[in-house]
Structure 1
Amino acid sequence: MRFGPAGYPAIGSKSDPEGSLKYTRGLGLDCLEVEFVRGARISEDRARQIGKCAKDLDIRLSCHAPYFISFNSDSPETVDKSVAWVVDTAKAAHWLGAYIIVIHAASYGKHPETALPNVISGLTRCKEQLDDLGIHDVTLGVETMGKKGQFGTLKEIAGVMKEVDGVRPVLDVAHVHARGVGCLKTKKDMQDLIDEFFPLAGPTAHFHISCIKYGEKGEISHLPLSEKEPDLQMLADILNDSDMDCNFVCESPLIEKDAVVFRDMFPRYRRS
């Protein structure tokens, strides 16, 4: 199991990915999600430099694609741009040596019935372009979403997987909790979620962890783990003895501090 932050932890006034990676490793963390949420604007040379640093430190990288992606848009231009944003992120991930990109695939909008076929169509186009580029080492990770108006339940993602090779779910536990208006109340609730997720996850189960503020429509904002919405100690207790390869990316407001907090919820990983 690996634990780490969503984004480069701030260690000074200047952007210093290598310094952030070294700081992350010094905390005993060993994964990091590079946040391309405003666009994958990085050169191949720079990406390869950062990727080498991460590899040398034994930090597993993943990437988050731009928030603007919307395969269910009424605008063909937006759909075309969505394909380009995914492909650009996957190219950057390939250069970095990152194994997965995380995608917010769509909103339901006025046409929820078209969301699944449109996501399938959009990701099929992405996969075809990546195949043409010879990029076969980056998984397209579709994230479980926290708002009821967004595409992204495990059942929906499983539907995409039936039609598009190279797609896996990314389980944002807090999003599931928020979408279900606080549904992860007991250890059984959490176990049922893991039992649904693991058969879909592939060789590495990619998680986003945080706590969350929610309302009747689902997600409002991410919160520190101390808020216990949901109580992630339940997740750690369930997975402590698991032999599944898991990657836990912390998206709380305390990205690296709460990654350490979560790691230390596992007796087998807790530092003395």
Structure 2
Amino acid sequence: MRFGPAGYPAAGKKPEGALEYTRGLGLDALEVEFVRGARIGEERAQEIGRKAKELDIRLSCHAPYFISFNSEEQEKRDKSVDYVTSTARAAHNLGAYIIVIHAASYGKSPDTALGNVIDGLNRSKEVLDDEGIRDVILGVETMGKLGQFGTLKEIAQVMDSVDGVRPVLDVAHVHARGHGSLRTEQDMRDLTDEFFGLCGDVAHFHISCIKYGDKGEISHLPLETKEPDLQLLANVLDDSKQECTFICESPLIEKDAVVFRDMFPRYRLRGTSRARGR
């Protein structure tokens, strides 16, 4: 299992420094946040990727928030393909294994969402295949608002029609969408069992706690709020053989990544430095 922050910790100042700082905390994953656009040159991405590989940090990338495959405007749907493909190119150059995508909102046409997401991701995949980029998974994230496309069942339907797609399980989003549905270890076990049936070789998680209301997600919260209590998730997964990456999206990105790692008895009992091979 690997654990890390969503974004470069500020203490590192530059990406290489942030990677070193992350590794110094005993963390070994990091998600590069391209949420405003994947603006990075090929050479620079390769430099950062080499540093991550040297430190044994598994990289992933988050695609821009602007993706809207179910937009009523064709121009926005076309632009969404550009956002996915530009992020995948950056991920390829970084050596990142997956990009995380917020695929669509239901908007005024919920009945068209599934078909439009499938169409948009198929178009994205065709572009990437033509460019020889086949090493980056298109990860569709489970979403926390009732008006957003992104349940595990919906993502499974996308996978039936688009090669190279996997789900990204945002546990807090599922909790918020279900108005506080993850209360017991059995709740967590049922969720992860469904996810592991779809995730492929590596299960990519987003973890945090969350404030929610009638329409689902409002904002991410630190793990200390226990909404949901992620100790339940750690208890369920501690003896799992599934390879996992846990990316922390709480406001305390690197600190709570360490907190969550240490919720696992396998790491807590052996000691951080020995458990992480340092």
Identify whether the pair has TM-score above 0.5, normalized to the shorter chain. yes
Residue among 123, 127, 130 paired with 2:125: 127
Cα deviation 1:39-60 (Å, max 9, x = unaligned): 0000000000000000000000
- TM-score (norm. length: structure 2): 0.96
Corresponding position of 2:35: 37
Distance 1:85 1:194 in 2: 29
Which residue of the partner structure matches residue 142 of structure 1? 140
SS at match of 2:103: coil
Q: CA deviation at 1:186?
A: 1.0
1:230 correspondence with 2:225: no
Describe the SS at the equivalent of 2:64: coil
Whole-angstrom distance in 1 between the partners of 2:78 and 2:141: 20
Q: Output the amino acid matched with 1:48.
A: Q
Q: What secondary structure is seen at the aligned counterpart in 2 of 1:269?
A: helix
SS for the counterpart of 1:67 is: coil
Question: Does 1:160 pair with 2:158?
Answer: yes
Is 1:4 the equivalent of 2:8?
A: no
d(CA) in 1 for partners of 2:91, 2:185: 35
Cα separation, 1, equivalents of 2:138 and 2:127 = 13
* Equivalent position of 1:100 in the other structure: 98
SS in structure 1 at match of 2:115:
helix
What amino acid is the match of 2:5? P
- The number of residue pairs the alignment matches comes to 270
- TM-score normalised to the size of structure 1? 0.98
Deviations 1:174-211 (A, max 9, x none): 00000000000111111110111001000000000000
CA distance in 1, matches of 2:240, 2:82: 37
4+ runs deviating over 4 angstroms: none
Deviation string, structure 1 residues 13-48 (Cα, Å, up to 9, x no partner): xx4000000000000000000000000000000000
Shift of 1:11: 1.1
Query: C-alpha separation between the residues in 1 aligned to 2:11 and 2:231?
Result: 28
Pick from 199, 202, 217: which aligns with 1:201? 199
Map residues 48-63 of structure 1 onto 2, 5 A cutoff.
Answer: 48-63=46-61
Q: Aligned to 1:201, what secondary structure does the other structure show? A: coil
In 2, distance between residues paired with 1:122 and 1:175? 23
In structure 1, what residue type is equivalent to 2:125? K
Deviation at 1:213, TM superposition (A): 0.1
Deviation at 1:268, TM superposition (A): 1.0
Shift of 1:269: 1.5
Q: Partner amino acid for 1:222?
A: H
Segments of 5+ residues of structure 2 without an aligned counterpart are: 273-278
Aligned counterpart, 1:261: 259
1:154-179, CA deviations, whole angstroms, 9 ceiling, x for partnerless residues? 00000000000000000000000000
Structure-2 residue corresponding to 1:187? 185
Q: Structure 1: how far apart are the matches of 2:108 and 2:72?
A: 9
- Give me the whole-angstrom Cα distance separating, in 1, the residues matched to 2:203 and 2:3: 12
> What letter matches 1:221 in structure 2?
S
Stretches of structure 1 lacking an aligned partner (at least 5 in a row): none
Percent identity between matched residues is 77
User: CA RMSD, aligned part only?
Assistant: 0.7
Give the Å deviation of 1:64.
0.1
Give, as a single letter, the amino acid of the residue that structure 1 aligns with 2:81.
Answer: V
| Separation in structure 2 between the aligned mates of residue 63 and residue 239 of structure 1, nearest angstrom | 24
In 2, Cα distance between the equivalents of 1:84 and 1:66? 10
Q: Deviations over 1:212-254 (max 9, x none)?
A: 0000100000000000000000000000001110000000000
Tell me how far apart the structure 2 counterparts of residues 25 and 194 of structure 1 sit (CA, whole Å).
27
**What one-letter code is carried by the residue in structure 1 that aligns with 2:4?**
G
Specify the alignment match of 2:111 in structure 1: 113
